[in-house]
């Protein structure tokens, strides 16, 4: 992680919202597993939603070894973006409406994990990062499943965060207008876990399920 | 909108989850204003979060006329992706964990709206689509604000939806294991609106604020 922006991570628009420090970037990645990965395929840009996780200064994502997305990303330039919407910002003029959000854009070259043991270790870190204690409760991963799973990662050395928070910024002359302005806060809500219809009798959701939070 | 997929919209992985009809695609776009736009800039892919809205068979997004993103998108190939996360699907094996979601990937060439009247009409449609009745309550948009705003759009003729719902799909042999499995449902929760600290006394949030829902 570099504390100074590279040419392409330097936030051009509204750069008072920009942050380049590892703590901020890592905090946003750790708070929201959903990401959107951008890559080129047949000369056109693609954006695929998937889950990401972080280990130290690298970000990871995974999928089926048959995935077109993962194949197109391997050894190629990608952009991985994580966005947490925190609110709709309602101003007195259409022009000053905005959103409160925390986002990260990370650029780099995606590399495939080739060592099966390292791949399994990384999938464990992914699972444990979301649901501590779950990995060892699960049926053990088979060699065939590991083979059918591709894990990609890239160094977080070209990443930037952008954050907006707080009330609307209206034109000074507009504050006297009788128009409701403020923020509608948004968050990802996790509802009560729903048992699998085929769950064995007497099994309750473990703590890593009932305590799970994102955002 | 085509009911048959093009080569690049045909969903390759898990294609039983794919839908190509306009009703499904439009329903997902209309439910979630947040999108991620993928485009090329200096030979590398970029993914920028923004808000989208739909008018008929076209999708729109906007921003500052100084935006690097909008400039790079204009008359270029883009991919606009909307993702609604509906739940975390917890299986008895790591390999069978998944997410419930509704997503759309739309490909096309982004065009800039050049006629100011058409641009203003489209920004009104965006605002009214989210908050019916708000546009006419607001301080009127100025010519300068309109000039400072770029609106892009593209035809939804190459779009596909992908949807997963329901409980985990475990290997038959795993259903007998004493492991909790099920779904942790997720939704975007809107909290009580927070008044702007500089709000004039006596103004309550209008119905379009208190009734607002996404997802």
**DSSP labels for B114-152?**
--HHHHHHHHHHHHHHHSTTHHHHSBPPPHHHHHTEEEE
Q: Indicate the pLDDT class of residue A160, thresholds 50, 70 and 90.
A: very high
Relative to beta strand B149-155, strand B111-112 is: antiparallel
Containing structural domain, residue A157? 15-189
Dump pLDDT digits (tens) for B65-82: 999 899 999 999 999 999
| Res. A2: pLDDT tops 60 | no
| Residue A9 maps to a domain | no
Q: In 3D, which of B204, B26, B56, B48 has the Cα closest to residue A99? A: B48
- Asked if residue A141 belongs to a domain, the reply is yes
User: How many Cβ pairs closer than 8 A exist between chain A and B?
Assistant: 272
Q: What is the pLDDT of residue A95?
A: 98
| Closest Cα in chain A to B185 | A191
Instruction: pLDDT band for B18, please (50, 70, 90 cuts).
Output: confident
d(CA B111, CA B154): 6
Mean pLDDT across chain B, nearest whole number?
94
Is residue B198 in a domain? yes
Interchain pair B105, A68: CB under 8 A: no
pLDDT of residue B14: 64
Q: ipTM score of the complex? A: 0.94
**At residue A44, does pLDDT exceed 80?**
yes
The two tokens of residue B46 are 């970029």
Min mean pLDDT across A14-23, A97-106, B24-33, B123-132 is at: A14-23
Euclidean distance between CA atoms A51 and A63, whole angstroms = 9
pLDDT over 60 (residue A85) = yes
Q: Render the burial of A142-159: b for 16+ CB within 10 Å, e for the rest.
A: eeebbeebbbbbbebebb
pLDDT at residue A173, rounded to an integer: 97
**Is A41 domain-assigned?**
yes
Closest CA to B124 of B181, B174, B53, B172: B53
Q: Is the pLDDT score of A18 beyond 70?
A: yes
For residue A164 the two structure tokens come to 């907006």
* pLDDT above 70: residue A137: yes
Per-residue confidence (pLDDT) for residue A17, from 0 to 100: 77
With respect to residue A195, please indicate whether it lies within any of the assigned structural domains: no
Structural domain count, chain B: 1
Helix (H, G, I), strand (E, B) or coil at A166: coil
- Residue among B37, B78, B183 whose CB faces A194 most closely: B183
User: Is A212 contained in some domain?
Assistant: no
**Any domain includes B7:** no
Nearest CA in chain A to B210: A184
Within a domain: A104: yes
Name the β-bridge partners of B9.
none
A118 CB-side CA count, 13 A: 10
Whether pTM exceeds 0.90:
yes
Confidence band, pLDDT 50/70/90 cuts, at residue A1: very low
CA distance B95 to chain A (A): 7
Of A6-10, A168-172, B66-70, the one with minimum mean pLDDT is: A6-10
User: Chain B residues with CB inside 8 Å of A171's CB?
Assistant: 139
Residue in A43, A51, A94 to test binding to B, most B beta-carbons within 10 Å: A94
Mean pLDDT on A124-142: 98
Report the pLDDT averaged over residues B207-212.
Answer: 96
CB contact under 8 A, A181 and B188: no
CATH of the domain at A121: 2.30.110.10
């Amino acid at each position: 992680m570099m504390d100074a922006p590279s040419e392409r991570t330097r936030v051009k628009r509204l750069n008072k919202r920009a942050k380049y420090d590892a703590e901020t970037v890592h905090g946003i990645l750790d708070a929201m597993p959903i990401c959107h990965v951008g890559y080129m395929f047949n000369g056109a840009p693609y954006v695929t939603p998937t889950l990401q996780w972080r280990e130290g200064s690298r970000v990871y994502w995974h999928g089926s070894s048959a995935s077109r997305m993962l194949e197109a990303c391997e050894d190629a330039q990608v952009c991985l973006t994580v966005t947490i919407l925190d609110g709709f910002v309602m101003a007195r003029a259409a022009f000053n409406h905005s959103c409160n959000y925390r986002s990260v854009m990370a650029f780099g070259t995606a590399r495939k994990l080739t060592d099966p043991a390292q791949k399994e270790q990384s999938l464990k870190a992914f699972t444990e990062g979301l649901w501590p204690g779950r990995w060892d409760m699960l049926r053990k991963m088979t060699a065939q499943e590991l083979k059918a799973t591709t894990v990609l990662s890239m160094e977080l050395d070209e990443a930037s965060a952008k954050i907006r928070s707080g009330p609307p910024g209206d034109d000074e002359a507009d504050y006297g207008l009788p128009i409701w302005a403020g923020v509608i806060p948004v968050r990802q809500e996790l509802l009560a876990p729903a048992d699998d219809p085929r769950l064995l009798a007497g099994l309750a959701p473990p703590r890593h399920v009932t305590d799970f939070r994102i955002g």
